[in-house]
């Protein structure tokens, strides 16, 4: 499994600027790590108003069990993706990113 290295910090700004679309190989390795987590406790973004609102949810990891919606609501997909990236970065590195 890939482990985040100190030099990977350069990818933070790349993701912040372009959270959706093609990414450099280094950033893609990080995203593969983040997005390849086990399903239990994994974040998901649910579009609650088409093209206008996304809500953060947490997956149960059990087939057929409901997902848990949170109170975190976003008004752009980019904002939502950045939030999830920061949460995952903190989980894997222990470092909390600012806005």
pLDDT at 99: 80
Indicate whether 99 belongs to any domain.
no
Q: Kindly report the pTM of this predicted structure.
A: 0.93
Indicate whether 13 belongs to any domain.
yes
Q: Please give the torsion angle defined by the CA atoms of residues 33, 34, 40 and 45, in that order, rounded to the nearest 10 degrees.
A: -150
Indicate whether 64 belongs to any domain.
yes
Q: What is the DSSP letter of 63?
A: T
Interval 5-61: pLDDT, tens: 999 999 999 999 999 999 999 999 999 999 999 999 999 999 999 999 999 999 999
Domains of the chain: total:
1
Interval 52-85: pLDDT, tens: 999 999 999 999 999 999 999 999 999 999 999 9
Indicate whether 32 belongs to any domain.
yes
For residues 52 and 74, give the distance between their C-alpha atoms in angstroms, rounded to a whole number. 8
Strand partners, 47: 54
Domain with 88, as residue range(s), is: 6-93
For residues 13 and 19, give the distance between their C-alpha atoms in angstroms, rounded to a whole number. 10
Indicate whether 1 belongs to any domain.
no
Residues ≥6 apart with Cβ < 8 Å to 10:
26
């Amino acid at each position: 499994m890939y482990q985040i290295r100190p030099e990977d910090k350069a990818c933070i700004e790349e993701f912040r600027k372009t959270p959706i679309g093609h990414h450099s190989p280094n950033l893609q390795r990080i995203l593969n790590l983040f997005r390849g987590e086990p399903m239990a406790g994994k974040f998901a973004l649910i579009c609650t108003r088409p093209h206008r609102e996304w809500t953060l949810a947490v997956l149960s990891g059990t087939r057929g069990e409901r997902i848990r919606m949170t109170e975190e609501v976003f008004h752009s997909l980019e904002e939502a993706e950045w939030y999830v990236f920061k949460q995952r970065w903190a989980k894997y590195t222990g470092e909390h990113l600012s806005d």
